[in-house]
Structure 1
Amino acid sequence: MALGISQVTIYVEDQQRAVDFWTGKMGFKLTRDMPYGEDRWIEVEPPSGGSRLVVHKADPSWPALGKELPNYVMFQADDIVETHKELVARGVEFAQEPVRQPWGWSAVFRDDDGHLFHLGQR
């Protein structure tokens, strides 16, 4: 049996701001943007393809979006130092610069909603 991950959902306060971040700053491709109830169903895909992110509007009645700890979504780059430089030049904020850990390279970046994500190196 071959299983994979097709998509991961990220809950955001402002869908358009999130689309602007993922497509403009991170270089992802918008693969789907369609009406979904009162909001939109939005999917973005990394430049290298693979699993998509669903940018979903958070319900205001839900608890506050967690912004203190990184999400356990790790993006990978072939060269984390060069990728970090490119993303910083595009306006991506890093909470942790690339650092070599015993298990490999790691960095943490913040999206425009304040969510934290890991960036690793292949």
Structure 2
Amino acid sequence: MITKLSHATIYVLDQDRAKDFYVDKLGFEVRDDITMGEEFEGAGQGFRWLTVSPPSQPDVQYILADCAMGHSPENTEELRALVAKGAIGGGVFITDDCHKTHAELTERGVVFLQEPAERPYGVEAVFRDDSGNWFSLTETR
């Protein structure tokens, strides 16, 4: 029986830049940053396992995955193009105060696509990470 979700993947264009963005701008904490050996890819090359999570939720980790991880070269390029043009939404991050968090993140250089606005489910703003993925920042009712 499945008991919970422990990891979710966010495809990024540059893992070092993504690490800086999620840690320095969003305030997440690094959970894992290790290089896996060649035996894990089968194509003779290893990969970097980089995970982060909000300090208040260490049991759910976001894998900041290189677009090549687990994909053919053709699919890697297609995925990179989709990420870069902002075609992929990464999900919803919850906050206690959307207006306050929006102001703090804006000050840290986070780019918002939508300012905080009243919605039927709460207050929502939308931002992009440094790769192009967009996320909802939501204060629920």
Q: What TM-score, normalized by structure 1, do the two folds share?
A: 0.89
Larger mean CA deviation between 14-23 and 69-78 belongs to 69-78
Which amino acid counterpart does residue 102 of structure 1 have in structure 2? P
CA distance in 1, matches of 2:10, 2:125: 19
* Local SS of the residue matching 1:73: strand
Aligned residue number for residue 41 of structure 2: none
Q: Matched residue of 2:138: which SS? A: strand
Matches within 5 A, 1:81-120: 81-120=99-138
Alignment of 1:54-93 (within 5 A): 54-59=63-68, 61-62=74-75, 63=78, 64-66=81-83, 67-69=85-87, 71-93=89-111
Deviation at 1:105, TM superposition (A): 1.2
Instruction: Report the counterpart of residue 10 of structure 1 in structure 2.
Output: 10
Paired residue for 1:40?
48
Residues 23-65 of structure 1 show CA distances to partners (whole Å, capped at 9, x for unaligned) of: 0100000010000343310000112114211001002532122
Q: CA RMSD, aligned part only?
A: 1.8
8 Å CA contact retained: 2:90, 2:133: no
Unmatched segments (≥5 aa) in structure 1: none
Structure 1 CA distance for aligned equivalents of residues 94 and 10 of structure 2 = 18
Structure with greater proportional helix content:
2
Partner of 2:25: 25
Q: Distance in 2 between matches of 1:55 and 1:13?
A: 9
Aligned length: 122
Partner of 2:40: none
